[in-house]
């Protein structure tokens, strides 16, 4: 038992940190640190810089651009990425559709989609949830019927993150209406420019435009856009959701947030000094740091244990990481909000190019929206209640 | 970075686990041990000695087994699971820790073999009525008397102070009552004139004592470590004890959760097992989450104690362990319903031990202040990150 990283691992950390700070444009990283929405171009720029270095999709199979990194190296990479406020490579591409195509797709699909997904030449979005199918995803009703050499898709997806930027959507669709629930679902790739696809924004409580409704009306999709076998799409979905969960603790991001709160609290006036002079505030910070350290060590235990695990199945402990990770992310946003105090009030609309001077410190206006927005982390990716159901069954046998 | 145990460590875990199963497998056995004169079992103590547990952390050249913090963690976790009563923490971790940290080669060579064979029990007589959790607050005095010393004062809630053969007593040889400098450690035979002890049971079924020191005459050889410089070894020994207690709490929580889970799967109401109720399932999951966070921090404390950042790490661990212990303890009782309230059932005994561990050597609030005072566990934004304002 040893907490120390090897000299090789430490020099790996130095290398990636050095690359992130030198190569990813500072204005983009500052936006991430400040909790400002990123423009499409910011995300594309950042991911392409990573991809040029071979680092956009390190967890993919080697032949599709992956790196033969150990679990520890992957952990270090992600932690440094988050701590240095580098935009996360687009999850829909690199953690969802990419791994699914690599695992279940045909050779043509791999050649056609994987390199473009890695380089963010195609922007993917995730069409799983529907108005009637959230946690109970298998209750989805969007249908695909075969017509000659095409599928004809009808239905509605919702909560589709950044669909307004997307070139492609990967969807779960019902291909066998007679089959029960999980059977009869297929995994289909749909070009967002197809006639019959309509995207309508949903404004979230922070005032941002992050999610959308996607209407699919008689959309014609080539047969070869099916991934895996017909009616076996649930296997792809399960595989994907497992991938989604392992990165979700976001320890590095929470570390960045807490350190930033400490730094800003030392500048935030209060009485004769700053917020940081208040012992009660510092105790709150310390308390959160303890929770975060516990999460970090728990994550490291899972990483260290990965060597002993068979196959590619995610550890059921990843549900614990999801629960604690999301709760702590939310706690960081609460702490920032409290620290900002009265300057959390002014609402500044996120208009690109707006010249209105900020009221209060120029970083303060994102505190409340970030807090509002971050309520999502306990809802998506399998809500925390669903995670508890998973642990109750898979670990506790209840 | 790895969290694996070595083969030897796994072997140790297995054998202590087996010993606990034999010695403490049921509430009746525990009760029988508690009914012995000192409130714990001489026979089980001898088994610890046989297994090498009593000499575990001492250097081999002094007659110990050269084990480290991880070995101690393994043993304490098993003790937590078994709900063991013996004065291991007092003798090996606290008393033994001070002996190791402050004792001369000669003293260790003389005393360690007797600790290791089980014939010498130690206790750390440090706490005082006014001190609460402040380790530097020592009013007991040691004054020069001839070429030796004379001790006066009162030590309070000394863990297993009633059965100890040799007391490690802290006393002030200089400075003011709460100064860090000026504290000295003395080895005091429990039976010498001037020492009087009043032993009593504690809420968790263990024992402690009030110890009065009235003109206790000591030879120069009684001094353990540097005169006036005991604060540092005391802090280190207490940090090691906190790491050990964290491990014990994790073991106790593990066992308590297993007991609760078992109950959820067997107890029926409304025609179904109560474990089929989602609200109880989620509570059980939250307990697992709390335990895993505590386990992580107990490991962190174990690996960090004694290093420059060790004190903050240990304090942070105690905060997490305390919070988890309180939640897991309370919820276990709740999920058992009435049966959780009876003295006749194990759950309550785990709950009580966990509650006492919470307050030992500093409660949650105390250790949160310690972490705060040390600047936290995370540090600041790295310079050169380009993200500072
Ligand atoms: C910001 C954001 C972005 C998203 N992006 C995407 C995306 O890009 N693509 C996509 O497909 N989806 C996306 N989602 C959807 C997300 O996956 C769903 O919101 C999620 O699965 C929950 O479904 P629901 O919203 O319908 O809530 P419901 O399932 O209706 O849940 C409501 C409440 O009931 C609880 N609940 C439900 N079932 C149970 C149960 N069995 N036991 C106990 N409690 C239960 C839930 O935990 C929740 O508290 C996004 C959601 C958000 C908020």
Q: Where are the alpha helices (DSSP H) in chain A?
A: 7-23, 26-34, 40-52, 71-83, 91, 98-104, 107-118, 233-246, 251-265, 279-305, 318-340, 367-373, 384-394
pLDDT at A311 exceeding the cut of 70: no
| Inter-chain residue contact B3 with A300, CB threshold 8 Å | yes
A51 CB less than 6 Å from ligand 1? no
Which of B285, B378, B382 faces A289 most closely, judged by CB atoms?
A: B378
Name chain A contacts of B74, Cβ cutoff 8 Å: none
Question: Do B353 and B252 meet the contact criterion of CB atoms below 8 Å apart?
Answer: yes
pLDDT at A105 exceeding the cut of 70: yes
Residues 38-57 of A with CB under 8 A from B: none
| Inter-chain residue contact A1 with B316, CB threshold 8 Å | no
Confidence of residue A273 (pLDDT cuts 50, 70, 90): very high
pLDDT at A350 exceeding the cut of 60: no
- C-alpha B299 – ligand 1 centre gap (Å): 35
Does one domain contain both A309 and A382?
yes
Interacting residues of A179 by C-beta distance below 8 A, sequence separation 6+: A231
Residue A94 lies in a domain: no
Size of the A and B interface in Cβ pairs below 8 Å: 158
The per-residue pLDDT for A241 is 80
The per-residue pLDDT for A158 is 98
**Ligand 1 atom 44, closest CA:** A385
Among the candidates A70, A89, A108, a domain finishes at: A89
Does one domain contain both A262 and A378?
yes
Q: For residue range B82-132, what is the model confidence (pLDDT) as tens digits?
A: 999 999 999 999 999 999 999 999 999 999 999 999 999 999 999 999 999
Closest CA to A33 of A388, A357, A336, A396: A336
Which of B275, B296, B377 faces A298 most closely, judged by CB atoms?
A: B296
Give one DSSP letter per residue of A117-130, joined into a string.
HHTTSS-EEEE--B
Confidence of residue A351 (pLDDT cuts 50, 70, 90): low
Does one domain contain both A256 and A369?
yes
Report d(CA A295, CA A350) in Å as an integer: 33
Does one domain contain both A262 and A218?
no
Q: For residue range B280-309, what is the model confidence (pLDDT) as tens digits?
A: 999 999 999 999 999 999 999 999 999 999
- C-alpha B350 – ligand 1 centre gap (Å): 38
Does one domain contain both A265 and A369?
yes
Report d(CA A254, CA A381) in Å as an integer: 18
Taken in order of first residue, the domains within chain B and their CATH numbers are: 7-121 (1.10.540.10), 123-228 (2.40.110.10), 232-373 (1.20.140.10)
3-state helix vs strand vs coil in chain B, percent to 5: 55, 15, 30
Does one domain contain both A222 and A300?
no
Radius of gyration of the CA atoms of chain A, in A: 22
> What average pLDDT score do residues A40-51 get?
98
Residue A192 lies in a domain: yes
Residue A115 lies in a domain: no
For residue A212, what is the domain's CATH number?
Answer: 2.40.110.10
Going by the DSSP 8-state scheme, the letter that residue B6 receives in this structure is P
- C-alpha B302 – ligand 1 centre gap (Å): 40
Question: Quick check: A1 contacting B, CB < 8 Å?
Answer: yes
Interacting residues of A377 by C-beta distance below 8 A, sequence separation 6+: A325, A326, A329, A330
Report d(CA B51, CA B68) in Å as an integer: 16
Interacting residues of B110 by C-beta distance below 8 A, sequence separation 6+: none
Report d(CA B281, CA A134) in Å as an integer: 21
**How many folded domains does chain A comprise?**
3
Name chain B contacts of A385, Cβ cutoff 8 Å: 282
CA A31 distance to own-chain centroid = 17
**Residue B115 tokens, joined:** 């600790």
Q: For residue range A132-169, what is the model confidence (pLDDT) as tens digits?
A: 999 999 999 999 999 999 999 999 999 999 999 999 99
A311 vs A177, A198, A203, A315, B65, CA distance in Å? 33, 40, 41, 11, 40
Residue A202 lies in a domain: yes
| Inter-chain residue contact B376 with A286, CB threshold 8 Å | yes
pLDDT at B376 exceeding the cut of 90: yes
Task: State the smallest CA–CA distance between residue B282 and chain A in angstroms.
Answer: 6
Structural domain of A290? 249-347+360-395
Does one domain contain both A377 and A287?
yes
The torsion angles phi and psi of B162, rounded to 5 degrees, stand at: -75, -30
| Inter-chain residue contact B381 with A263, CB threshold 8 Å | yes
Does one domain contain both A265 and A212?
no
**Residue B388 tokens, joined:** 């500072």
Residue A113 lies in a domain: no
Q: Which atom of ligand 1 is nearest to the CA of A163?
A: 8
pLDDT at A388 exceeding the cut of 60: yes
CA A330 distance to own-chain centroid = 15
| Inter-chain residue contact A255 with B302, CB threshold 8 Å | no
- C-alpha A376 – ligand 1 centre gap (Å): 9
pLDDT at B160 exceeding the cut of 90: yes
Provide the angle, in degrees to the nearest 10, between the axes of the packed helices A279-305 and A251-265: 160
Question: Do B317 and B242 meet the contact criterion of CB atoms below 8 Å apart?
Answer: yes
Between strands A197-203 and A150-157, the pairing is: unpaired
Report d(CA B18, CA B24) in Å as an integer: 10
- Apex CA B66: angle with CA B60 and CA B70, to 5°? 175
pLDDT at B383 exceeding the cut of 90: no
The per-residue pLDDT for A314 is 64
Give one DSSP letter per residue of A193-262, joined into a string.
TSTTEEEEEEE-TTS-EEEEEEEEEEEEEEGGGEESSTTBHHHHHHHHHHHHHHTTT-HHHHHHHHHHHH
| Inter-chain residue contact A84 with B385, CB threshold 8 Å | yes
Does one domain contain both A48 and A130?
no
A372 CB less than 6 Å from ligand 1? no
Between strands B223-224 and B183-189, the pairing is: antiparallel
Q: Indicate which of B8, B13, B292 best probes the interface with A, i.e. most A CBs within 10 Å of its own CB.
A: B292
For residue A325, what is the domain's CATH number?
Answer: 1.20.140.10
Read off the pTM. 0.96
**Ligand 1 atom 29, closest CA:** A135
The per-residue pLDDT for A352 is 56
Does one domain contain both A254 and A389?
yes
Does one domain contain both A257 and A382?
yes
Report d(CA A3, CA B358) in Å as an integer: 26
Does one domain contain both A364 and A261?
yes
Residue A242 lies in a domain: no
Among the candidates A204, A231, A258, a domain finishes at: A231
Which of A292, A301, A389 faces B378 most closely, judged by CB atoms?
A: A292
Residue A29 lies in a domain: yes
Residues 341-370 of A with CB under 8 A from B: 363
């Amino acid at each position: 038992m040893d907490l120390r990283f090897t000299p090789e691992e430490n020099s790996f950390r130095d290398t990636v940190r050095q690359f992130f700070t030198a190569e990813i444009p500072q204005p983009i990283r500052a936006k991430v640190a400040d909790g400002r929405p990123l423009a499409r171009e910011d995300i594309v720029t950042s991911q392409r810089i990573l991809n040029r270095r071979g680092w956009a999709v390190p967890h993919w199979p080697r032949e599709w651009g992956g790196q033969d990194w150990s679990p520890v190296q992957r952990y270090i990479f992600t932690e440094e990425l988050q701590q240095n406020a580098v935009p996360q490579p687009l999850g829909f591409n690199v953690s969802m559709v990419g791994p699914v195509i690599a695992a279940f797709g045909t050779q043509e699909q791999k050649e056609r989609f994987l390199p473009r997904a890695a380089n963010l030449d195609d922007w993917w979005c995730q069409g799983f949830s529907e108005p009637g199918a959230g946690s109970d995803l298998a209750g989805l009703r969007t249908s695909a019927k075969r017509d000659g050499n095409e599928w004809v898709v009808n239905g509605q997806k919702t909560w589709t993150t950044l669909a307004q930027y997307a070139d492609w959507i990967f969807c779960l669709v019902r291909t066998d209406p007679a089959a029960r629930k999980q059977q009869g679902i297929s995994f289909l790739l749909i070009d967002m420019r197809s006639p019959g696809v309509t995207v309508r924004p949903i404004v979230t409580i922070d005032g941002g435009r992050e999610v959308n409704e996607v209407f699919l009306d008689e959309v014609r999709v080539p047969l070869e856009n099916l991934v895996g076998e017909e009616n076996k799409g649930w296997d792809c979905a399960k595989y994907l959701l497992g991938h989604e969960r392992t990165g979700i603790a976001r320890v590095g991001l929470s570390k960045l947030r807490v350190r930033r709160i400490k730094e800003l609290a030392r500048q935030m006036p209060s009485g004769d000094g700053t917020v940081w002079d208040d012992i009660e505030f510092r105790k709150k910070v310390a308390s959160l740091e303890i929770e975060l350290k516990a999460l970090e060590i728990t994550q490291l235990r899972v990483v260290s244990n990965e060597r002993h695990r068979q196959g590619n199945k995610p550890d059921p402990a990843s549900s614990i990481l999801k629960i604690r990770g999301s709760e702590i992310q939310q706690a960081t946003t609460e702490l920032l909000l409290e620290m900002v105090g009265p300057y959390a009030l002014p609402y500044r609309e996120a208009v690109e190019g707006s010249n209105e001077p900020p009221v209060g410190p120029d970083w303060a206006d994102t505190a409340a929206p970030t807090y509002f927005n971050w309520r999502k982390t306990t809802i998506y990716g399998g809500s925390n209640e669903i995670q508890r159901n998973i642990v109750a069954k898979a670990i506790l046998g209840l | 970075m790895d969290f694996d145990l070595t083969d030897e460590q796994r072997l140790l875990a297995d054998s202590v686990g087996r010993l606990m199963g034999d010695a403490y497998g049921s509430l009746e056995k525990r009760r029988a041990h508690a009914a012995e004169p000192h409130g714990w079992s001489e026979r089980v103590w001898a088994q610890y000695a046989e297994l090498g547990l009593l000499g575990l952390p001492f250097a081999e050249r002094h007659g110990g087994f050269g084990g480290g913090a991880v070995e101690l963690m393994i043993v304490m976790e098993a003790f937590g699971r078994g709900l063991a009563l013996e004065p291991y923490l007092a003798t090996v971790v606290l008393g033994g820790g001070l002996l190791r940290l402050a004792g001369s080669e000669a003293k260790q060579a003389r005393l360690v073999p007797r600790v290791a064979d089980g014939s010498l029990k130690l206790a750390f007589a440090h706490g005082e009525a006014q001190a609460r959790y402040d380790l530097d607050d020592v009013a007991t005095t040691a004054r020069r008397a001839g070429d030796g010393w004379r001790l006066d004062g009162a030590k309070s809630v000394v863990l297993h102070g009633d059965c100890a053969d040799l007391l490690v007593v802290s006393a002030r040889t200089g400075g003011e009552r709460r100064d860090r400098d000026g504290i000295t450690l003395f080895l005091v035979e429990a039976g010498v004139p001037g020492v009087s002890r009043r032993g009593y049971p504690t809420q968790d079924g263990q024992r402690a004592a009030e110890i009065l020191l009235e003109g206790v005459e000591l030879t120069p050889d009684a001094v353990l470590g540097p005169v006036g410089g005991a604060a540092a070894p005391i802090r280190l020994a207490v940090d090691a004890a906190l790491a050990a207690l964290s491990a014990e709490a994790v073991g106790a929580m593990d066992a308590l959760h297993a007991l609760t889970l078992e109950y959820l799967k067997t107890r029926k109401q409304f025609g179904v097992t109560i474990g089929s109720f989602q609200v109880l399932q989620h509570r059980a999951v939250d307990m697992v989450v709390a335990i895993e966070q505590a386990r992580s921090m107990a490991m962190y404390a174990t690996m960090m104690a004694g290093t420059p950042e060790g004190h903050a790490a240990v304090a942070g661990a105690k905060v997490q362990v305390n919070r988890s212990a309180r939640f897991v303890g309370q919820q276990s009782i709740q999920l058992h319903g009435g049966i959780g309230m009876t003295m006749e059932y194990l759950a309550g005994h785990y709950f009580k031990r966990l509650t006492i561990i919470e307050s030992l050597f500093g409660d949650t609030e105390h250790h949160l202040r310690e972490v705060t005072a040390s600047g936290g566990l995370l540090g600041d934004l790295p310079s050169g990150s380009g993200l500072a304002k």
